Amino acid sequence: MRRALDILKDIFGYAAFRGLQAKVISHVAGGQDCLVLMPTGGGKSLCYQIPALMREGVAVVVSPLIALMHNQVAALHEIGVRAAFLNSSLSQAEAAAVEGDLLTGKYDLLYVAPERLLTPRFLDLMARTPLALFAIDEAHCVSQWGHDFRPEYIKLSILHESFPSVPRIALTATADTVTRKEIVERLGLDGAKLFISSFDRPNIRYQIIDKTNGKSQLLDFICAEHEGDAGIVYCLSRKKVEETAAWLKNKGVCAIPYHAGMSAQIRRDNQERFLREEGIVMVATIAFGMGIDKPDVRFVAHLDLPKSIEGYYQETGRAGRDGQAATAWMAYGLGDVVQQRRMIDNSEALDKFKHVAATKLDALLALCEATTCRRLRLLHYFDETAADIACGNCDVCLNPPVVWDGTVVAQKALSCAYRTGQRFGAGHLIDVLRGNKTERVRQWGHEKVSTFGIGKDLEGNTWRAVFRQLVALGFFISDSEGHGSLLLAESSRAVLKGQQTILLRQQPEFQRVSKGPPHQDDSLTLDPAAHDLWSRLRAWRTDIAKVHGVPAYVVFHDATLKELVRICPQTEGELRLVSGVGTYKMERYGEDLIEILRDN
C-alpha cells in the first residue's frame, strides 16, 4: 500500500486512510470486484479514485447526476488529476473532443451517465480503450425497492458481460439487506467482497418534533441553532417548496427553491448559488440532493415525512460531510402518516411493492415514535448492532420522553371512530371526544353518541398526539378515497377488548433540545489576530474559487483553513504538513498562502 499512501499524500493531501478505505483500495487495485457501503462523508470516492491512479488505463465512473459529475471532475482538476465527463451538458463537438482524448489515453477517470454508457457507440468506444476499472456510484439506484430507483442501472450488468476482466466497485451510502441482495444480483456481483463501514454519523444530532405549525417551528429552529448556516429543507410537494422558500425569505432567511417543475436553467442557477455561496438554505423536493458534496451543510430539515429510513438517512447524511457538528431536524404529524399510507394504498404498484413500502414506512414511524436512542434504532435498521450504547446526542437521549399507559385513552379514540361510522378524520373525532358542539358535530348528531365528551380531560394537542401514535402503531388505517377518514384496523380489536396494553409517548411542552445547539463556529472562539487571519484566508479562497469557476470548498475545505490558522506554517515544508495540501495545490497556491500567513 506504499504507492497508495504516496498518492493519498502527494495528490489528495492526506496523511492516512480512514476506516475501510485502505482495504477497499488494496482489493480493487488488485483487480477484484466489491460492493462498498460507506456513509455519506466517509470517503467513498477515494476508494475508486486512488485505484484508478494505480492501475493502467482509464477508470469509467457511472454517475447518475450531471451536477455530481461536474463537481467531482472540478475537484479532481484542482489537485491535478486528469479527469473528464461525458453527459448531455456537452455540445456534440465537446463530446467528440472528450471521446478523442479518451482514445489517446489522456484521462485517468471518465464520469459518464448510465444512459450514455449503455449506448452501442460508447460500448464500442470502451472496447477500444484500455480500462482500469468500473466504478458504479450510488449503486442503490439499481434497486426497485430503493428510494432513488433508476431503470438504466438495471442494465449495468452488461459491464461484466462485455468486459469480464475489468474489476468493478459498486458504492452506496444506504442499503438494507434486501437492497444489498438486489444490487449483487442486478450487477452480477456474485462472489464480490462486501465492505460495510459503520453507518453511524456521530457528528449529526437527530431531532424529531411533533408538528404543530411546521414553518414557524422550522424558523425557530434555524434562528435558535443555525442562523447564517447553509442548510437543506425537504418538502413533499413543489407547491410547498415554493411557499416555504418565499416565507423563509420574507422572514430574513436566505432561502431559495428547487424542484423538478422549475426550468432546467433556474434549477442550475439555484444549485450553483447553494454550492458556491455561504449561508444559503435550499428548500427542495427530493429531486435535489443526490451527489451534492457540499461539505459545510450544517443542517437538513424535513417538513414532511420521508418514505423510508433509507431515504431519511440518505437525505440527512448531506449534513456535516466535513465531520463537524450538524443537525437532522424533522417536524412530524398525523397528517404525514395518513398521507404516506394513502400514497402507498392508492399507488398502482404490485401488491408486493406496496407491502415492502408499507414495511419501510412502519420502520420509519417506529424511529419517529422512539422512546429510546434514535441513533441506535437507525443503526439497528441497517443491521449494525455492535455498539448498543445510547449516543447521548439525539433529542431522545438529551430529553428522554415520558411513557404512559394510554390503553384507556386508545380505547376511547377507537370507540369514538367506531360510534361515528368510521367516516371522519382526527379533527372531528377530537371534537366529539372533548365534547365540542361544533356545527359539524351537531350536523351529524354526534353530540348524542356515547363517546361524546368522554375525553374532555385531555387537551386537543394531547389528543392529536394520541391519534398520530395510534395511526403510526397501525391501530387506525386511513381511507383509500383520500377523505382523511380513520378506519379501525384489525389489530384494534384486541385493544378494544382490553387484551392489549398501549404505551404512548407524553408530548413535551417545549421541544427544543435544551442542551444547546450542536454547532459551534470555531471562528467565534478565536482571538482577534487569528480571527483576522481566518477571514483573510476565506476571502482569498473565495476569490480563487471565482477565478476557477468552482465552489470555495473545492479549493480548500474549512477544516484545512482552520488548520492553517492553528499551525500558521511559515515555510513550504511546514505547509506540506497541513491536511488537504497536496503537491499540486502546494505548487499552485503555496506562495499565496505563505505570504498571507507571514503577514499575520
Cell numbers describing residue 423: 367516516
Tell me the pLDDT tens digit for each residue of 49-79. 999 999 999 999 998 888 778 888 999 999 9
Rounded to whole angstroms, the Cα distance separating 149 from 363 reads 20
d(CA 255, CA 231): 9
What whole-number distance in Å separates Cα of residue 66 and Cα of residue 55? 26
Q: pLDDT at residue 92 above 70?
A: yes
- What is the structure's pLDDT at 65? 80
* 294: helix, strand or coil: coil
Name residue, grid cell 449495468: 156
What residues contact residue 159 under an 8 Å CB cut-off, 6+ apart?
A: 134, 136, 166, 168, 187
291 confidence band (pLDDT: 50, 70, 90): low
- Integer angstrom CA distances of residue 232 from 73, 241, 284: 24, 11, 7
Q: Quick one: average pLDDT of 5-32?
A: 94
Mean pLDDT for the stretch of residues 213-241: 95
DSSP 129: S
φ, ψ for residue 227, nearest 5 deg: -65, 125
Q: Is the dihedral of CA 390, 393, 396, 400 positive or negative?
A: positive
Span of 30-34, 313-317, 382-386, 454-458 with lowest mean pLDDT: 382-386
Q: What is the pTM of this model?
A: 0.83
Instruction: Return the SS3 of 32.
Output: coil
Q: What is the DSSP letter of 192?
A: P
If you average pLDDT over residues 204-232, what whole number do you get? 95
Q: Which DSSP helix (H) or strand (E) runs through 329? A: strand 326-332
Interval 457-498: pLDDT, tens: 999 989 998 998 998 888 988 776 656 789 999 999 999 999
Judged against a pLDDT cut of 50, whether residue 331 lies above it is answered with yes
Residue 296 pLDDT more than 70?
A: yes
**Least confident range of 321-330, 336-345, 453-462:** 336-345
pLDDT of residue 290: 67
Question: What are the b/e assignments for 214-250, b being 16+ CB within 10 Å?
Answer: bbebbbebbeebbeebbbbbbbbebebbbebbebbee
Over range 207-218, report the average pLDDT.
94
DSSP 94-123: HHHHHHHHHHTT--SEEEE-HHHHTSHHHH
pLDDT at 209 over 90: yes
Q: Which domains does the chain have, with CATH numbers?
A: 2-196 (3.40.50.300), 204-398 (3.40.50.300), 403-505 (1.10.10.10), 522-598 (1.10.150.80)
Q: Under 8 Å CB-to-CB from 491, ≥6 apart: which residues? A: 474, 475
Residues paired with residue 110 on neighbouring β-strands, in sequence order: 60, 84
- CA–CA separation, 586 and 104 (whole Å): 29
Report the C-alpha gap between 104 and 86 in whole angstroms. Answer: 16
| Percent of the chain whose pLDDT exceeds 70 | 95
| pLDDT on residue 528 | 83
At 514, the pLDDT band (50, 70, 90 cuts) reads very low
Of 65, 90, 561, 71, which is closest to residue 272 (Cα–Cα)? 71
| Res 27: pLDDT | 97
At residue 523, the pLDDT reads 47
